[in-house]
A and B are shown apart, each in its own frame.
Chain A
């Protein structure tokens, strides 16, 4: 796209897509902002047709001063952080493992990727009923087999359980990206390091890990975007009980359980702000890996 002409042609042709995307984003955003300044309780007879009462920042103040607000932020960050930690570390290990020549490599790779194709709701249900059920779950049987008291996973260790479920879903993604990155490492570099006297662990630390830094950055950025909004996994397992209420879940409760659209919208705006803070923060720490 070098010439003036081709540039404007390109702009013209891209316009429909850009306008559609902009509308897609702007309409809900404006509505959320609009509702967040209104009192809107459908069950109490508020409706768009009758006109909504302007309440200024009251919804924002109420959302923050609710006793569930800060814990929900904390929960969100713990889940995101925990899942990132587990998927990146295990992802690197699995990627290295899958990169080794072994028998049945193709099949193993497909198996590793499989969880990514399972819908969140389904995978959460599978974990809840087949693995974590305190009476009939496989884990309960395992514990009993070793003579231990079965763990009530979703009530006693609710956050770790959810982190485990979500990690299981996202591990394939991390592994896949990291595997392709590992495969792109020039084997002569590793051999040179070997000749230079670096044993396996040092080769990993000084050669492989720096090579992976860009891929790790991408994994972290993409996963964070999706993890901030996980919902189904919480909905079908604990329904927000036992300290698993994330910001997303809190908003859902405010809008649908308490039928307070205004309050929920204010929460939505906070969620946008949180996402941006996390994004800026991440960009600062890891974003510099992307240039160069």
Chain B
């Protein structure tokens, strides 16, 4: 079991309201990702769920039970911190055993669980080392190990991969996703990296200045962003926004079109432009094209395309994939 319900939750630090009233339901077994720019209150929201911060008003329910005033230890949640927060003076084994020891579990049973966690996380050979003698990825796994031995009703992750290098991040991303497949436990995951959010989540919660902009599955957010902020935040590279005459023609203040929904041709098309920077990734090529009609546009072309810096090209948007926004930035 691991449903988490926030209703009318707010949080203020002194005068400053960081989280305005907010409602959110996280279902049992879901992988929910909080995503948003730096400082938007993702960590704060996670810490409110964990009980490390008190809510200013509103209620937090875990498994249907009001947990608003419960101390963190009583909520049955486990958290993995950005800095890992391993206990430096304890061996890996003792680190993982710590929550079990605090719960007063019998050593034999505890030992069995530690061995199980170590096996799942490939830590068996490192159990007697101190955290200082481990690599970043191994430390990360110890932190996860410490969380899973308790068999919590939900896991909370606060940017667990941000200290790892790019390759390792992709690996750990897969490992965490796999862990979720095996354990089928609710996971709440905070990140500012929308790629992590898109690849891992069952449900993404996009936050902006403490406000939930949209909740939905990755594809829902990609296909039907509710406003300009979500449209610009989800998807990589960013959606192109075009204002002015072209937008008016579509009866909108602004229209958005993703780089992958613009086709590029050297012969003919709707908008004429000049290629600026081009980024060749092998499988794809991204062009920055300066157009007279629509301004600077980011375009994605599959495979190798022969256009180079300074070449004249023509762009044609896929009109069925155009997103229209009103003056306030809401989708029409």
CB B212 to nearest CB in A, in angstroms, measures 25
Q: Choose one: A198, A210, A211; the contact of B73 (CB below 8 Å).
A: A198
Complex contact A197–B103 (CB within 8 A): yes
Q: Choose one: B85, B87, B99; the contact of A191 (CB below 8 Å).
A: B85
Q: Choose one: A194, A199, A202, A206; the contact of B87 (CB below 8 Å).
A: A206
**Is A291 interfacial (CB-CB < 8 Å)?**
no
**Is B83 interfacial (CB-CB < 8 Å)?**
yes
Complex contact B78–A195 (CB within 8 A): yes
Q: Residues of A contacting B77 with CB < 8 Å?
A: 195
Q: Residues of A contacting B83 with CB < 8 Å?
A: 186, 188
Nearest B residue to A194 by beta-carbon distance? B72
Complex contact A197–B102 (CB within 8 A): yes
Q: Which residues of A contact B (CB under 8 A)?
A: 186, 188-189, 191-199, 202, 206-207, 210-211, 213
**Is B48 interfacial (CB-CB < 8 Å)?**
no
Q: Residues of A contacting B50 with CB < 8 Å?
A: 195
A210 to B87, CA, bound (A): 10
Complex contact B89–A210 (CB within 8 A): yes
Complex contact A196–B81 (CB within 8 A): no
A196 to B98, CA, bound (A): 7
A76 to B181, CA, bound (A): 66
Complex contact A202–B102 (CB within 8 A): yes
Nearest B residue to A214 by beta-carbon distance? B89
B interface residues, how many (CB within 8 angstroms): 22
Q: Choose one: B73, B87, B89; the contact of A197 (CB below 8 Å).
A: B73
Given contacts A186-B83, A188-B85, A189-B85, whether A196 and B52 have CB atoms under 8 Å apart is no
Q: Residues of B contacting A193 with CB < 8 Å?
A: 87, 98
**Is B323 interfacial (CB-CB < 8 Å)?**
no
Q: Residues of A contacting B99 with CB < 8 Å?
A: 195-197
Using a Cβ cutoff of 8 Å, how many contacts connect chains A and B? 57
Given contacts A202-B102, A206-B98, A210-B89, whether A192 and B73 have CB atoms under 8 Å apart is no
Q: Residues of B contacting A199 with CB < 8 Å?
A: 73
11 example contacts (A-B, Cβ-Cβ < 8 A) are as follows A186-B85, A188-B81, A191-B72, A191-B81, A191-B85, A192-B86, A193-B87, A194-B71, A195-B72, A197-B73, A210-B87
Produce 1/0 per residue, B71-98, CB < 8 A to A.
1110001110111011111000000001
Complex contact B89–A196 (CB within 8 A): no
**Is B141 interfacial (CB-CB < 8 Å)?**
no
**Is B146 interfacial (CB-CB < 8 Å)?**
yes
A199 to B73, CA, bound (A): 8
A94 to B102, CA, bound (A): 27
A192 to B79, CA, bound (A): 7
A196 to B146, CA, bound (A): 9
Q: Residues of A contacting B82 with CB < 8 Å?
A: 188
CB A207 to nearest CB in B, in angstroms, measures 6
Complex contact A195–B103 (CB within 8 A): no
List 8 tightest A-B contacts by C-beta distance, closest first.
A196-B99, A192-B85, A188-B85, A197-B102, A197-B73, A210-B89, A188-B81, A198-B102
A193 to B52, CA, bound (A): 11
Q: Which of B82, B98, B146 has the most CB of A within 10 A?
A: B98
Q: Residues of B contacting A211 with CB < 8 Å?
A: 88-89
Nearest A residue to B52 by beta-carbon distance? A191
Q: Residues of A contacting B103 with CB < 8 Å?
A: 197
A177 to B73, CA, bound (A): 31
